[in-house]
Amino acid sequence: MIPFNTILGLLFFAMAAPSFATNINFDGQLIEDACDIFPGDENIEIDFGTVVNQYLYTYTRTKGIPFKIRLINCDLELSKSVTIKFSGTESSISLGLIALIPSSSARGIALGIESQSGDLIPINKGSHTNRILTKNNSLALQAFIQIDPEALSNKSLILGDFIATATFELDYN
């Protein structure tokens, strides 16, 4: 059996071990955004109206519905371009497109976002860059509905209401 004095002595010795201190330096830069988003353009709602299922079976997607994100009070000294990225839940069937929210009653479609020239901006992966030329600028984009390949081949669209959501992020360059 180890005497109590020995255990107590070992505890004092362990607590007296040398310690070292060092500094952690943090640095960074706080800046302002190059542009402001026009009031109301932070939350954009795109209404596709009524889409006939036979149209999707025939053409696989709708025409793009134009929408804009307006940038105002741009400081051309801070940035010459802006890159927009979209994030959200990607369709597991139509990769690069936005999945419908689970409470949607429609099935067999996904939504896409593209540039005004028709180039797909894949959700969570792609981006689109616009030059900032003046104090006020518009990012012209389009949204579309596309039938999932499985729903097309099986003719299995489920009709009903649908909602999909995405978040946009602006990176100034």
Q: 100 pLDDT exceeds 70?
A: yes
- Which pLDDT score is estimated for 39? 96
- Which pLDDT score is estimated for 31? 66
Q: 22 pLDDT exceeds 80?
A: no
Strand segments (E) across 47-173: 65-72, 81-88, 109-115, 127-131, 137-147, 166-172
Instruction: For residues 127 and 48, give the distance between their C-alpha atoms in angstroms, rounded to a whole number.
Output: 23
- Which pLDDT score is estimated for 1? 46
Q: Quick one: DSSP state of residue 117?
A: T
Higher pLDDT, 146 or 18: 146
Q: Are the C-beta atoms of residues 91 and 112 closer than 8 Å to each other? A: no
Q: What are the tens digits of pLDDT across the range 144-169?
A: 999 999 999 999 999 999 999 999 99
Q: What are the tens digits of pLDDT across the range 41-98?
A: 999 999 999 999 999 999 999 999 999 999 999 999 999 999 999 999 999 999 999 9
Which domains does the chain carry? 31-172 (2.60.40.1090)
Higher pLDDT, 28 or 146: 146
Q: 138 pLDDT exceeds 70?
A: yes
Q: How many CA atoms lie within 13 A of 76 on its CB side?
A: 7
Q: 10 pLDDT exceeds 90?
A: no
